[in-house]
Structure 1
Amino acid sequence: MTTPPILSVSNLTTSFRVEGLWKPVVRNVSFDIAPKETLAVVGESGSGKSVTALSIMRLTPSGNSRIEGSIKLSGQELLTLPDADMRKIRGNDIAMIFQEPMTSLNPVLTIGFQIAEALILHRNLSRSAAEAETIRLLEKVRIPAAKSRFHEYPHRFSGGMRQRVMIAMALACKPKLLIADEPTTALDVTIQAQILELIKLLQEEEGMSVLFITHDMGVVAEIADRTVVMYNGEAVETGATEDIFARAHHPYTRSLLSAVPKLGSMTGRRRPMRFPVVDRLTGESDVPTETPDTVEASERPVIEVSNLTTRFEIRSGLLGKVQGRVHAVENVSFSVQAGETLALVGESGCGKSTTGRSVMRLIEPLAGSVLLDGVDVLKLNQHDLREQRKRMQMIFQDPFASLNPRMNVGAAIAEPLLINKLATRSEARDKVAELLRRVGLQPDMASRFPHEFSGGQRQRICIARALAVEPRLIVADESVSALDVSVKAQVINLMLELQARMKLAYLFISHDMAVVERVSHRVAVMYLGEIVEIGPREAIFGNPQHPYTKRLLAAVPIADPTRRHEKNPVSNDEIKSPVRAADYIPPIRQYREVSPGHAVMIWGEEWEKPAVQGIAA
């Protein structure tokens, strides 16, 4: 006799009212989740994953949405329940973790109060009993010093710790089903590994089922027993995760899998390599090729950074004395040749983005030099700096925040040409059409506004704008982190093609080690504002020396469900704070050369702890 499912979704169709008409965005989706099973729902943005989850929770807007079909929790039909009964089920029997914990937590209430509130409401505990249970839950999700952090506010926690608080809140009432909607997408690779490990561990202990929504196939391989692939509002393929990875039938599933960067796939290759492009309708794939060798090592580097130091002062008040400093970038040195990509990698807070902004002088460094084609950018006045900035451009992580929503994209791309007097208005129009074609968009799209484009198209527009002034250096700050896996592959292929054609130097800032392996010539690993290891890509990935580099590589999800149990143990250590006392003097660091061009910082006792050794081994 088979065990009845915890959740049974049958012919789910969710529609939204658009201009008086009902538009279905999820159509005839069916799946079951067995007790203690993890089901992953995967697909790109707009495929209907999150709407499916919101429909199960009945959290779609009541006036403008319509849910049809059947959703049964332990045999009980949810779609016909009165609102009062449904409120009891939410949080009690079904709990949900959202992608961005800061939007889910109330910033003016302590995290302890918010978790205790759920316990008082759903489990009728007294205030003192709820507080004791909250501390137990915080300890269960591995929040250090849980008792002392009970009265802290969400902004005092890191992104990974805030997500742990959300998991503690979700587990408060011991739900039968946990819905996790992209819970690791915005997190660093090591924090992501911790959260995935925690969800798996708590699932075993509590015996709950998990509906895991993601667009990351590496995460799916890591956590899911079965997988539902969604495309354009429909479930196009369902099956055991191992079967889908080994024998995907639908062309769209094959296109998703082909776009997943696999750590170790570049072994034996010297140069970056394009991602294969798979047709979603036929499933046919092209053969990816290495990019041509465009690095001109004989020439002077496009950019030479020496002893770059950026610190932020912490004062006791507006005019108070300095209490301490954030040592965001400390004595960083590197160079990038024409046609070369140097990847800057590390966790959030390690100083990657501050390094990129300091190089551009969007942030004023404290010390050091940044030579762009031999000119020290840090010594230029504002007029000369504006002239020099034509030669270096930046692509930011969020393309929507980088574009003026009131300006059509043609005007946005033309703006740097007009401001720098590089073209007349008629010449700028022609140049915009050419740039849009170059990044794979149609010239007639110039009249559209940013909200009329997808995330990947918006990032292409930002690349076109950066190319308008024909720069020598592009600083790409997490430029593909927020994109779906297949869109990410398209944008990276575009960047590699443009680099080969225009001999661009890239400073590629990322925390995604699998992408970095695919696109970079050299890699610099940052920790607490310092470069702990730097060298050719094949040396860093093939022969990592520093324990922190090994920790980053060990945390990368393996996009192969058959190798799920091969991973090293995950450290639950938080990245240390870069805040130092006002009189702190940084130690002079020593580096040793492992092989030509491969240097590693000589580390001290702080890296010899068993937790790190377990990972580094």
Structure 2
Amino acid sequence: MRANPSITTQPDRIAGIVGPVLSVDGLTTSFLVDGVWKSVVRNVSFEVMPGETVAIVGESGSGKSVTSLSIMRLLAKATSRIEGSVILNGQNLLSLSDRQMRDIRGNDVAMIFQEPMTSLNPIFTIGRQISEALTCHSTMSQPEARAETIRLLEKVRIPNAAARFDEYPHQFSGGMRQRVMIAMALASRPKLLIADEPTTALDVTIQGQILDLIKVLQEEEGMAVLFITHDMGVVAEVSDRTIVMYRGEAVESGPTADIFHRGQHPYTRALLAAVPRLGSMQGRNWPLRFPIVDIKTGETTIPIEVADTVDKRKTPILEVRNLTTRFDIRTGLFSRKTGAIHAVENVSFDLFQGETLSLVGESGCGKSTTGRSITRLVQPNSGEVLLDGYNVLNLDPIALRNMRKSIQMIFQDPFASLNPRMSIDATIAEPFIAHRLGTQKQAREKAVDLLERVGLSADMFSRYPHEFSGGQRQRIAIARALSLDPKVIVADESVSALDVSIKAQVVNLLLDLQQNFNLSFLFISHDMAVVERVSHRVAVMYLGEIVEIGPRAAVFNNPQHAYTKTLMDAVPIPDPARRAIKRNTVTTELKSPVRPVDYEIPQRAYLEVTKGHFVQQ
């Protein structure tokens, strides 16, 4: 056990290591299901050398995370069985006792998980949690552990680290919580860092900061990194070698550049074809569908390009004027108002029939609240929302119910938005019946038609949500939204939680439905590459305000606002040539939208850069 786990740079630390830090041979992991052992990872073998980054890539269910949990021996012993060998610095981890394995974890190998809020204890300060990791694996005193913890927090670029030692996880943003997890993982200077989807839940700018941070720390510490993700853009930027997993098996492996440029397996090519690439829309004026690669044959289907149908000579189908939504903050015994969250501040835009307007920005910028305000799922404070000429904000409950036939919402998590006790036919038919648009028979016929239109078969009609994959559940949510023949659909991060190839299929489906039904989309997302693919126009939001809005080509090719440029620069590009590039983005948190009661709203002016392209001054 090391007495002083300081993370100051010591290049000679790995000088004596000749072989791999980690050697996995014939790893097979099985789970006990209904009394039968079912293998979910089969015969996986790979090595990770000192200072090297190896990425394991694949979609949900491919076995990536189970592989990492098997290496760490974090699976329940009663219901799991791990076979093969996992050699870390000459020791077979699968042959160690539980006590020996506890000493290995944290000392020699550490892990960063996808969701830091579930990994951090909410009732302890972050300083105490990192200090505990230090004192458990060393003979450090409490004062020494505190000083080392502050150095670690500074190492992972947390501003004002000493003052934040005594703060709790909920007081940190998602990106800063992930930095805390990295600091905790580095506390005992492990030789191997396993990062399991460490950036998937983060906004694009925070993701860029975390990727840069891992690169810098790896260079300084000489760590080996096993990086697990389904984001091929991230893989290109961080990994030296890549392993592609599909249904529990490693179907292809090699240097990352070879995988990207000369990938042989159909599944590898399918993953790469589905990756949205920023800049791929040069010279196009309307959305473009993704090419789809057949996983079994490797054959690529290029969707037929269809001419744009947006006619801006007509009156907009949706007009938003000076929309403002705030949430009061009340404190004290008498719940006195002490401030307000300015979630949406003076937002205005038009949406035409058949058009897609994307709202982009980081978490907390007001995108989702704008969508919910327009549909009256939250009550705005002021402004106008005109749908077909009627002000949505002035409608009584009966009129509001009728209005919702014209505007529907698709949410990010379809499992949370679908009733687990209702079969799919009842789920899709329910809005049709609730609005009394026809008989039960007509509702069923419409539901069957919509199910087939979104790419599902009628024999799935009687199943329940838990019997479908994430992509299929999102298709069901889309079918339900279409059951009332809406004119406008608010898609709130509707593809963010999906794997890359499923995301491509759902985006293609939305574009097909837009073409067939002449739908208008308010597409809310933080994925800039997808936004570029699907949008006619783009509005960039920051702290509740639109800071830039214009045609997609104008905003992407000629961004004017500093925040828009920051978003663009942070997008990971699936090009292995960028492996050594660091963005050098400034480590900052998104400013708080909380304002005091007496806060005066500044007057905003917009400059028209080119026709229809406005930027806040």
Q: Taking structure 2 as the reference length, what is the TM-score of the superposition?
A: 0.96
Matched, 1:393 2:401: no
Output aligned runs, 1:377-456, within 5 Å: 377-456=392-471
Counterpart of 1:255 (choices 267, 270, 293) is 270
Counterpart of 2:384 (choices 369, 372, 380) is 369
Output aligned runs, 1:52-201, within 5 Å: 52-201=67-216
2:58 maps to which residue?
43
1:534–1:600 Cα contact (<8 Å) kept: yes
Secondary structure class of the residue paired with 2:607: strand
Secondary structure class of the residue paired with 2:289: coil
Calculate the aligned-residue CA RMSD, in Å. Answer: 1.1
2:17–2:50 Cα contact (<8 Å) kept: no
Distance in 2 separating the partners of 1:140 and 1:102: 21
Secondary structure class of the residue paired with 1:119: helix
Counterpart of 2:255 (choices 232, 240, 247) is 240
Matched residue count? 602
1:17–1:65 Cα contact (<8 Å) kept: yes
For 1:435, give the aligned amino acid.
L
Secondary structure class of the residue paired with 1:40: strand
**Residue 338 of structure 1, CA deviation:** 0.7
What's the CA shift string for 1:424-477, capped at 9, x where partnerless? 112111111111001000112121111111000000000000000000000000
Distance in 2 separating the partners of 1:130 and 1:598: 53
2:208–2:583 Cα contact (<8 Å) kept: no
For 1:175, give the aligned amino acid.
P
**Residue 565 of structure 1, CA deviation:** 4.4
Distance in 1 separating the partners of 2:580 and 2:354: 39
1:325 maps to which residue?
340
2:604 maps to which residue?
589
**Residue 213 of structure 1, CA deviation:** 0.3
1:607 maps to which residue?
none
Identity across the alignment (%): 68
Counterpart of 2:217 (choices 194, 202, 225) is 202
1:351 maps to which residue?
366
2:212–2:584 Cα contact (<8 Å) kept: no
1:457 maps to which residue?
472
**Residue 36 of structure 1, CA deviation:** 0.5
Matched, 1:214 2:229: yes
What's the CA shift string for 1:192-228, capped at 9, x where partnerless? 0000000111111111110000000000001000000
Distance in 1 separating the partners of 2:318 and 2:74: 51
What's the CA shift string for 1:49-97, capped at 9, x where partnerless? 0000000001111101000001000111110111110111111111001
Secondary structure class of the residue paired with 1:333: strand
Counterpart of 1:282 (choices 297, 306, 310) is 297
Distance in 1 separating the partners of 2:464 and 2:384: 39
2:316–2:353 Cα contact (<8 Å) kept: yes
2:593 maps to which residue?
578
**Residue 319 of structure 1, CA deviation:** 3.2
2:4 maps to which residue?
none
For 1:506, give the aligned amino acid.
F
For 2:175, give the aligned amino acid.
G
What's the CA shift string for 1:310-352, capped at 9, x where partnerless? 1111111363321111111010000111110000000111100
Greater mean alpha carbon deviation, residues 562-571 or residues 551-560? 562-571
1:466 maps to which residue?
481
What's the CA shift string for 1:249-275, capped at 9, x where partnerless? 101000000000000000001110000
Distance in 2 separating the partners of 1:423 and 1:119: 66
**Residue 126 of structure 1, CA deviation:** 1.2
2:325–2:381 Cα contact (<8 Å) kept: yes
**Residue 407 of structure 1, CA deviation:** 1.2
What's the CA shift string for 1:254-309, capped at 9, x where partnerless? 00000000000000011100000101111110224434312121221110000000
1:614 maps to which residue?
none
1:537 maps to which residue?
552
Matched, 1:308 2:320: no
1:139–1:146 Cα contact (<8 Å) kept: yes
1:558–1:564 Cα contact (<8 Å) kept: no
Distance in 1 separating the partners of 2:96 and 2:498: 37
1:109–1:153 Cα contact (<8 Å) kept: yes
Greater mean alpha carbon deviation, residues 32-41 or residues 426-435? 426-435
1:5 maps to which residue?
20
Greater mean alpha carbon deviation, residues 341-350 or residues 127-136? 127-136
For 2:561, give the aligned amino acid.
H
Secondary structure class of the residue paired with 1:90: helix
Secondary structure class of the residue paired with 2:300: coil
1:225 maps to which residue?
240
1:262–1:559 Cα contact (<8 Å) kept: yes
1:514 maps to which residue?
529
Identify if the C-alpha distance between structure 1 residues 318 and 507 changes in structure 2 by more than 3 Å, giving closer, same or farther.
farther
Distance in 2 separating the partners of 1:346 and 1:154: 23
Distance in 2 separating the partners of 1:281 and 1:2: 41
**Residue 368 of structure 1, CA deviation:** 0.3
**Residue 564 of structure 1, CA deviation:** 3.5
2:239–2:579 Cα contact (<8 Å) kept: no
Matched, 1:523 2:552: no
Secondary structure class of the residue paired with 1:175: coil
Identify if the C-alpha distance between structure 1 residues 132 and 566 changes in structure 2 by more than 3 Å, giving closer, same or farther.
closer
For 1:431, give the aligned amino acid.
K
Greater mean alpha carbon deviation, residues 526-535 or residues 571-580? 571-580
1:142–1:572 Cα contact (<8 Å) kept: yes
**Residue 14 of structure 1, CA deviation:** 0.2
Distance in 2 separating the partners of 1:317 and 1:536: 47
Greater mean alpha carbon deviation, residues 465-474 or residues 416-425? 416-425
